Structure 1
Amino acid sequence: MPGTVGEPVTISVAELVGMLSLAADLGLGQPMEHLARSCLIATRFAGRIGLSDDDIATTYSLALLAWVGCTADSHETSARFGDDIALRAGVYDVEIGSPPMLGYLVRRAGSHGSVLHRARVAGGLIATMGRVVQDSLVAHCQVTGQLATRLGMSERLCRCIGQTFTRWDGRGSPTGVRGTEIDVATRIVRLADVVEVHHRTGGVDAALDVTRRRRGSTLDPDIVDAFVRHGRDLLDGLPAESSWSELLAADPAPRPLSGTSLDAGLEAVADFVDLKSPYFAGRSRGVADLAAAAARRTGMPPGEVVVVRRAGLLHGLGRSGVPNTIWDKPGPLTDVERERVELHSYYTDRMLRRVPALGHAAAVAAMAHERLDGSGYHRGLTATSIPSTARLLGAAGSYHAMIEVRPHRAALTPPAAAAALRGEAAAGRLDPAAVEAVLGSAGHHTRRPSAGPRGLTAREMQVLELLARAATTRRIGEELGISPKTAGNHIERIYSKIGTSTRAGAALFAMQHGLLATLEPLDG
């Protein structure tokens, strides 16, 4: 994990949008990096056929952004068609706006409900020629356009997003937009999205064949003809495994985000992630702000508070990989459904690992659902492996969930939530100190904090944290503004109080009692 906690973090807009594209991949029923590979295909193809620099830059950004709104209507889609992820996966075998697509939707209609429900939904689709699906496509474009605006994307790109579901023959959405009225970047991205799926599942010949079959209907005939000429070389040149590093290297106009601009970008991601279900509306920001307030309340340095808040904004990124038939289920989950819910933390971890600069915040985000007794997920970590930052995020997430409405229960009142959260601490699942910090930040009266474990003073706990992270006596003195001799005296008293005589023993004690903000060693 790079750097130290609090060190300035810079990522590119492409990395930020790329994270969302990974979430969109799962929501589309595709493996992660589907959109990354589509972006490489589209961008390289645009360069191969001699488009302008602006065309190439627009194509690159559009390929990453165009589909990230796919989960925005998951709640409504699930109510009509059952598993929203499975529905979207099957769409790649039919053309949008075609009779086969309407037939596909009718067959999927009400698939999770009774016979009467199936008939009602299917009848409505046939009677309106899939009008509700058209409305869904409009919603997709609107929310993606809003995200693009928040990220400072160009007006041209925002117009392209509004054309995401157009067809060359004018039978797409918006109806009547056809031919060269559709931006060339949109036409290329539409082709690349379909090509990537069919190339991955059937090889080069399958990819070329699907473009020929859709020539003149969904796809621009000239674009198809050019791709047939160049496609084999382009597809043979794709990375065999991960496309992530090639994706970032292909960015025609890198734009960095750091400080407040990075936080604003992460807030946009958090808001977008929460669209997955109406039950999550505002959750990521709420958890992030509560966890950050609790971190400040415990006296964490400003850099660690920033890490905690960013982790809160990111901790729900993997929700897109779980269908809304589970998230929105009004009754108890089965064991299999519960296992799928727990996978979302794993997905979050895998997505965030692709952005090393977010290392500390990413690591904390991936531990949001871990519990001190090992009963959490996705790794089943225990107390010694969960730093104080993650303990605070876990307590904040639990409290926020308790006061939120869920499909199977009403929201708890704040007093009831406070009692339940303290019950989790008493049962050994949540850190008592983290719980009190969260409750105090949420406006509850808190219990008087106890002294540090084994009677450690506040200063001794600061020294212990640095010692556990392999800081030398001199480094401890520099960090805390004390002399090396004074630092050494503190270390001797700490060893005496906790019953050890080694740094390793002190580190184990600190981890067990949640006294570390991070488990990373200090540099130097």
Structure 2
Amino acid sequence: MPDAIHPAAPVSSPTVPAQVAVRALALAGDLSMGQPPDQSVRAARLAVRLAQLQGADESTARHAALVSLLRWSGCTANAAGFATLLGDDVGGREAMLRQGLPEGHPLNFANIAPLAHIHCEVAGEVAALLGLPGPVEIGLRHVWEHYDGSGAPRQLTHEAIPPVVYLTSLAGDLEILSRTHPVAAACQMILQLGGVKYPNAMAQLAVAHAPALLAALEQGGDIDADLPAHPVALSIVAELIELKLPWLTGYSRRVAELAVRAAALAGLDPEQGQRLERAALLHGIGRASVSNTIWERPGRPSAADWERIRLAPYWTARAGALIPALRDEAELASRLYERLDGSGYFRNLDRDSLAMPARLLAAAAALAALCAPRPWRGAMSEPDACQQLQADAQAGLFDPQAVQWVVAAAAGQGGAMPSLPRRLLSEREAEVLRRISLGESNKEAARAMQISPSTVRTHVESIFRKLQCSTRAAATLKGLSLGLI
């Protein structure tokens, strides 16, 4: 990795109602786990009905719905680990959830416990960042625990596990297993998991009412009405998705910054600039559907890989259909990889279909990507990246005027760049956090910073203590939300 790392300047993130952010994160989680894009919503509906069958109060039912919606919110953070274990983090976890992993698969408690620890800590931090009720955060921090103590991260048992965890686990199993197996077989699997993942009595109750529960599930229903509506930063969505690939840390924010400043230079009205900013922060949702193995494979992607990659902006567009509050921004975001000559994806649009906002967004994304390191290449210097972008514009890929505005934005025109706060971390600690957030090991960070690995380790321990976390993924998420990186 290159010695010089230039962090993205923090963007004054636009806000959305918490319910919108929750739905966006639920969709990204579903895609990361190889699930249909409404799996978490369906599981949340089942969790509410199971809570009602148990006689739980309304707050417990609401909390169970939120935990179900955000159950997979930590799965981007451990995607690399599952890709290493299973060869495909998306397909492998899909098979795991439907109990379809082949015999001899490598998953066991020893290798899955660290991944569960990362997942639960990040999911809990998400709840805190979204300002959700305490029981929701606690539930997410224990969402991998099992009734018999075979879960993680703390191997809790019985009453030590929050009730919303049992409701979430049971609802998720019922939704997934009944969709991927005959209902009778799914019910038998749930009974076998009784006394293991959740209490026997809960499993028996769910099986006894399974026909009615599943029939009601197919009738749909609005889950958003009971979700919190206070404003939260939209950047949380981008930051969580980018944990899937550490080398993407801060990428969406940098694209947003360039696009907004370029829009001002282009004379677009403020409303269009805000739409561009929101689109930049949302564009990575569809990326969650593609396995880390594909994203990190050296060399040019194969034809099969490209077919999967082309689906990433499709799923971003689909987010707008599933979450109406994000429709306009998701539609614009899904055009980020289109090119004026029609060679882009996923719609193969050309100059006649791409208005100036889409042209600015594409140019901003390309410049930000060229200036950042990737597993298959080093980062280009900003002058070289600008020259490459201008050459691509001359070749007909990008709009030349849009490129000029983006290049000017990168040079500092179009608005002042905000400064990064440093009071919580020292300058050295902030540099270490930037480096580990991009996936560097202690040895790699030490080599680049010309200090010893033990000194880096000491700084990492101090960062964890100050940010009140214990994993690099959670430290990255907190550092981004606090504007430290």
What range describes the TM-score normalised by the shorter chain of this pair? Answer: 0.7 to 0.9
Q: Secondary structure at the match of 1:192?
A: helix
In structure 2, the partner of 1:179 is: 158
Q: CA deviation at 1:93?
A: 4.1
Preserved CA contact (<8 Å) 1:75 1:278? no
1:351 and 2:319 are equivalent in the alignment = yes
Deviation at 1:360, TM superposition (A): 2.4
The verdict on how the C-alpha distance between 1:182 and 1:321 changes in structure 2, with shifts beyond 3 A counting, is same
* Structure 1 residue 218 corresponds to structure 2 residue 197: yes
Task: Give the number of the structure whose alpha-carbon radius of gyration is greater.
Answer: 1
2:23 to 4, 13, 18: 18
Per the TM alignment, residue 12 of structure 1 is displaced from its structure 2 partner at its CA by: 4.0
Partner of 1:500: none
- Aligned partners of 2:372 and 2:379 also within 8 Å: yes
Q: Is the 8 A contact 2:145 2:154 kept in 1?
A: yes
Alignment RMSD: 2.1
TM-score normalised per structure 2: 0.79
The alignment status of 1:255 with 2:223, answered yes or no, reads no
Which residue in the other structure is 1:437 paired with? 405
Alignment of 1:9-88 (within 5 A): 12-88=17-93
Aligned to 2:110: 131
Q: 1:45 to 1:393 in 2, by over 3 A?
A: same
CA distance in structure 1 between the aligned counterparts of 2:44 and 2:412, rounded to whole angstroms: 49
**Residue 170 (str. 1) matches residue 175 (str. 2):** no
The residue that corresponds to 1:156 in the other structure is 135
- Corresponding residue to 1:362 among 319, 326, 330: 330
Return closer, same or farther for 1:156/1:82 CA change in 2, 3 Å cut-off: same
Measured in 2, the distance between the counterparts of 1:418 and 1:108 equals 47
SS of residue paired to 2:75: helix
Deviations 1:209-233 (A, max 9, x none): 1211111111211211221232221
Q: Secondary structure at the match of 1:415?
A: helix
Greater length-normalized contact order (CA 8 Å, ≥ 6 residues apart): 2
Q: Is 1:332–1:408's contact at 8 Å kept on the other side of the alignment?
A: no
Superposition deviation, residue 432 in structure 1: 0.9
Partner of 1:315: 283
Query: Deviations along 1:133-175, whole A, 9 cap, x unmatched?
Result: 2011000011111111110011111111111111111121134
Q: TM-score scaled to structure 1, two decimals?
A: 0.73
State the one-letter code of the partner of 1:33: D
Match for residue 290 of structure 1 among 241, 254, 258: 258
SS at 2:55's partner residue? coil
Structure 1 segment 84-123 matched on structure 2, within 5 A: 84-94=89-99, 107-109=104-106
**Distance apart, 1:339 and its partner CA:** 2.0
Q: Which amino acid aligns with 1:236?
A: A
Instruction: Give the superposition deviation at 1:297.
Output: 1.6
DSSP-derived class of the 1:69 partner = coil
Once the two structures are TM-superposed, the CA of residue 10 in structure 1 deviates from its matched residue by 8.7
Give 1:488's aligned residue: none
Aligned residue in 2 for 1:269: 237
| CA-CA distance at 1:268 after TM superposition | 0.3
Q: CA deviation at 1:49?
A: 2.5
CA distance in 2, matches of 1:217, 1:421: 56
On the 8 A contact 1:368/1:397 being kept in 2, the answer is: yes
Aligned partner of 1:387 among 348, 355, 370: 355
Aligned length: 401
Alpha carbons of 1:398 and 1:49: their partners in 2 closer, same or farther (altered >3 Å)?
same
Match of 2:222?
246
- Structure 2 distance, partners of 1:368, 1:175, is 42
Q: Which amino acid aligns with 2:261?
A: A
Give the match for residue 343 of structure 2.
375
- Give CA deviations for 1:110-148 in whole Å, capped at 9, x if unaligned: xxxxxxxxxxxxxxx7xxx64232011000011111111
Write the mapping of 1:387-426 to structure 2, written as runs, cut at 5 A: 387-426=355-394
Distance 2:59 2:146 in 1: 23
Q: 2: distance between equivalents of 1:68 and 1:207?
A: 25
Q: For 2:222, what is the secondary structure of its paired residue?
A: helix
Which amino acid in the other structure matches residue 275 of structure 2? V
Paired AA for residue 298 in structure 1: A
Kindly provide the amino acid, as one letter, of the partner of residue 255 in structure 1: P
From 209, 218, 232, the counterpart of 2:211: 232
* Deviation at residue 397 of structure 1 after TM alignment: 0.3
Give the distance between the partners of 2:326 and 2:34, measured in 1 at CA: 26
1:328-379 per-position Cα deviation (integer Å, ceiling 9, x unaligned): 1122211111221111010111122222222322221111111111111110
Give the aligned residue type for 1:256: A
Q: State the distance in 2 between where 1:337 and 1:217 align.
A: 38
Shift of 1:84: 0.9
The 1:354–1:10 alpha-carbon spacing in structure 2 relative to 1, beyond 3 Å, is farther
Tell whether the 8 Å contact from 2:23 to 2:323 is kept in structure 1 after alignment: no
SS in 2 for 1:67: coil
8 Å CA contact 1:10–1:256 kept in 2: the answer is no
Residue 201 of structure 1 aligns with an amino acid whose one-letter code is T
Alpha-carbon displacement from aligned partner over 1:368-419 (angstroms, at most 9, x marks no partner): 1111111111101111111111111000000011011111111111111011
Deviation at 1:445, TM superposition (A): 9.4
Q: Distance in 2 between matches of 1:66 and 1:358?
A: 21
- 1:321-332 matches, within 5 Å, as 321-332=289-300
* Cα distance in structure 2, aligned partners of 1:204 and 1:49: 22
Equivalent pair of 1:204/1:235 in contact (CA under 8 Å): no
Q: What secondary structure, in the 3-state scheme, does the structure 2 residue paired with 1:71 have? A: coil
Rounded Cα–Cα distance in structure 2 between residues aligned with 1:80 and 1:404: 27
Counterpart pick for 2:305 among 330, 337, 349: 337
Kept after mapping to 2: 8 A contact 1:72/1:139: yes
CA–CA separation in structure 2 for the residues paired with 1:61 and 1:150? 14
Q: Distance in 1 between matches of 2:412 and 2:344?
A: 26
The separation in 2 between residues aligned to 1:91 and 1:68, in whole angstroms, is 17
1:327: Cα distance to partner?
0.7
Q: Distance between the aligned counterparts of 2:367 and 2:274, measured in 1? A: 20
The alignment-based identity, stated in percent, is 33
Residues 467-518 of structure 1, C-alpha deviations (whole Å, 9 max, x = no match) = xxxxxxxxxxxxxxxxxxxxxxxxxxxxxxxxxxxxxxxxxxxxxxxxxxxx
Question: Which residue is 2:175 aligned to?
Answer: 196
Answer with 276-285 or 170-179: which moved more: 170-179
Residues in 1 aligned to 2:105 and 2:288: alpha-carbon distance in whole angstroms: 20
Q: 1:426 to 1:344 in 2, by over 3 A?
A: same
